[in-house]
Structure 1
Amino acid sequence: MTVAMWVLLLIAIVCANSPFLTTKWFGIKTVARKHFGHHVLEWMTGLVLVAALAYVFEAQTGPVHQQGWEFFVIAITLYAVLAFPALVWRYFWNVKSPD
């Protein structure tokens, strides 16, 4: 694996988990009660940012390959798997919510 792949993987792990680990909106603004909709919106925003970064990294190495819908379904599923530890901590293990 190249350095760009390792960097992308690390950024994907951080972006997938960060919405569930903090009570701040996008890590900046404190909200009174951060509900699941906030988490999903932040998670999807992170997904779009990671996908854009992956596109940029691929474009730097050569022509970007066209992908079908199957690729995007698998990419979203893998991103959800990356977010699973923080999701479990937030909603199943964390007895007292940090909100």
Structure 2
Amino acid sequence: MSAAAAVWLVLALALVAANLPFVNERLFVVGPLRRPSKALGWRLLELLSLGALVVLIGMTLEARIGQRHPQGWEFYAVMVCLFFTFAFPGFVWRYLRRHHPR
């Protein structure tokens, strides 16, 4: 896999993983179904866990392509901000859109 393809793969995974906690009602995607709805705390915990998983996948791909570069705190701060930005559409869909009764 080329470096450019790995970057796009990690970005696509991050976009999907950031919105996943907001579009399903299961704990960590495969856990028990929560009714009536998961609390925001569970969603944030899932968001941070999936963010860590995406970073691990990115580090693994980087190691397979070549030498893995050490990262400072700045990298992780930017990653968290980017992950929260990617999660914005899911947050809006879950909490800010108007729900019409059926």
Shared fold (TM-score greater than 0.5)?
A: yes
Q: Structure 2 matches for 1:23-42, cutoff 5 A?
A: 23-28=25-30, 29-32=32-35, 33-42=37-46
Counterpart CA distance in 2 for 1:45 and 1:39 is 10
More strand by share: 1
Counterpart CA distance in 1 for 2:98 and 2:47 is 19
Match of residue 65, structure 2, among 49, 61, 67: 61
What's the CA shift string for 1:13-49, capped at 9, x where partnerless? 1100010011121222201231001101110110011
- 1:86 partner letter: G
TM-score by length of 2: 0.86
Counterpart CA distance in 2 for 1:10 and 1:68 is 23
TM-score by length of 1: 0.88
- 1:30 partner letter: L
| Count of residues paired in the alignment | 97
Q: What is the aligned-residue RMSD (CA, Å)? A: 1.7
After the TM superposition, which parts of structure 1 deviate over 6 Å for at least 4 consecutive aligned residues?
Answer: none
Match of residue 70, structure 1, among 71, 74, 79: 74
**Ranges in structure 2 where 5+ consecutive residues have no aligned partner:** none
